[in-house]
Amino acid sequence: MNATATAYPNIALIKYWGKQDENLILPATPSLSLTLDVFATTTTVRLVDHEFDTVVLNGDETDGPFAERVVRFLDIVRAQSRNSARAQVITRNSGPTAAGLASSSSGFAALALAASTAFGMELSSKDLSRLARRGSGSACRSIYPGLSSWHPGSDETSHGEHIASTGLDLSMVIVMVNAASKSISSRTAMRFTTETSPYYAAWVDSSQTDMQRALDAIASADLPALGLLVERNALKMHASMLAADPPIVYLEPLSLELVRFAGSLRREGIDVFATMDAGPNVKLLCSSQDAGIVAEQISKSFDIETIVARSGPGVYLDDSAVKS
Ligand code: PMV
């Protein structure tokens, strides 16, 4: 009747960009991500005796597009659980919302666990991941700790999967280029890319190879091989968007300067690689051992906030958390 869950955002190393099915959120490309240990989302779902759902985001009751997405997601939970109750959803992001820092991945992973529990379902990780996917594709990977993959497939077979650690101790240095919410949602931007970008087919095609090579690099704990693929995969995704009509430009001049800066650190012998999502913020992938040096180098050269994130936990029920 009442459940609270916490989840952490994941940042894709090999990106999901483009859908095969918009309604079921089935991806066109395989993806691979690292769940972080910063910017958690904690969500409480309480079944209520009202005629409609209510949504409280970061302390304020909201009825905008975010609330509509939450209500559509609750409709899926109601259908699966055969329980027509309405709910109050109280959700709090400890990081910036909708700034290309994967708040939707932690948000819908936490909502999937809190809502399925409150509506009386006990789902396996696989089914929880399938459910989270319906809220936001990337959320299906935040069910799991550390590294996870997500493959295209059917509603039944497309879900996140945990990748066992192979000796790589990865961190990300998050560089806050701009914490404001993005001007165009990833959902809309993906649709424009899929429908209009002449580079979209090439992007989908090359994602298969990138994914296989990235999995091989993880299996052999080869950070330089993984990192070069990660950086190039992100740039290919942005290239596909830049060629869309209308063009989608999430990156800012400073984002590109940071990509260059990662290259110059590599020339000095530090294995560090840039990745960017649906927003201008840059995440620098490196070993946990080098994360402090990377953050220090950024602070020396740029007047900008950095946050060091390590590998974080999968979603969990969190009954100790504040519920209002
Ligand atoms: O799950 P969405 O709709 O927020 O899309 C996420 C898209 C990227 O963050 C750009 C890439 C990814 O795989 O997370």
193 token code pair? 């890319």
Q: How many CA atoms lie within 13 A of 168 on its CB side?
A: 28
Mean pLDDT of 154-171: 94
Return the pLDDT at 211: 98
Give residue 83 CA to ligand 1 midpoint distance, Å.
30
Give residue 234 CA to ligand 1 midpoint distance, Å.
11
pLDDT in tens, 196-233: 999 999 999 999 999 999 999 999 999 999 999 999 99
Q: How far is CA 235 from the centre of its chain?
A: 17
Closest-CA residue, ligand 1 atom 8, reads 277
CA dist list (Å): 170 to 2, 140, 259, 288: 35, 20, 18, 5
Tell me how far apart the alpha carbons of residues 36 and 58 are, in angstroms, rounded to a whole number. Answer: 20
Return the pLDDT at 191: 96
For the Cβ of 99 lying below 6 angstroms from any atom of ligand 1, the answer is: no
pLDDT band at 103 (very low <50, low <70, confident <90, very high): confident
Calculate helix-pair angle for 288-301, 253-267, nearest 10 degrees: 120
DSSP-derived pairing of the beta strands 54-57 and 86-93: parallel
Return the pLDDT at 89: 98
Report the atom number in ligand 1 closest to the C-alpha of 31. 13
pLDDT in tens, 86-98: 999 999 988 766 5
pLDDT in tens, 125-147: 999 999 999 999 999 999 999 99
Give backbone dihedrals phi and psi of 187, rounded to 5 degrees, phi first.
-60, -50
Question: Which range among 59-63, 143-147, 189-193, 266-270 shows the weakest confidence by mean pLDDT?
Answer: 59-63
